[in-house]
């Protein structure tokens, strides 16, 4: 299931979604994990990609990431919005594939 565009989706979310679609990773935008919402969620490997703008609070984010892991068994990868650019696509995909491999290995144990 590939996510449909909503009015809440940012340009960074849409770009990441495009890249995930290009490499064949099933995902959704604005996935709900009560009481939180995830920017991007990759179903098969239980990975949330949080695209962080300038106004993220590290303590609050750490609490949220811990909750997602403990309650939903979902890991979080935090990415600065400023690094989600066409120029940085190859680096983003490489880091993502490292996360995919890491999560796949953890899943098979």
Quick: pLDDT tens for 46-58. Answer: 999 999 887 767 8
Which segment of 1-5, 37-41, 104-108 scores lowest on mean pLDDT? 1-5
Domain ranges in the chain are 11-103
What percentage of the chain reaches a pLDDT higher than 90?
73
What percentage of the chain reaches a pLDDT higher than 70?
90
- For the stretch 71-88, pLDDT in tens is 999 999 999 999 999 999
For 11-103, CATH gives: 3.40.960.10
Reported confidence tier of residue 107, pLDDT bands at 50, 70, 90: low
Q: How far is CA 62 from CA 32, 57, 72, in A?
A: 18, 9, 15
Q: Which helix (H) or strand (E) holds 92?
A: helix 89-108
């Amino acid at each position: 299931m590939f996510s449909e565009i909503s009015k809440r989706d940012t340009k960074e979310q849409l770009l990441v979604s495009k890249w995930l679609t290009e490499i064949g990773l099933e995902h959704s935008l604005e996935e709900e994990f009560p009481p939180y919402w995830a920017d991007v969620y990759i179903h098969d490997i239980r990975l949330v990609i949080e695209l962080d703008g300038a106004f993220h609070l590290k303590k609050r984010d750490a609490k949220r990431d811990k909750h997602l892991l403990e309650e939903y068994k979902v890991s979080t990868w935090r990415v600065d919005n400023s690094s989600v650019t066409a120029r940085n696509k190859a680096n983003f995909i490489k880091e993502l594939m490292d996360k995919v491999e890491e999560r796949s290995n953890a899943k098979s144990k």
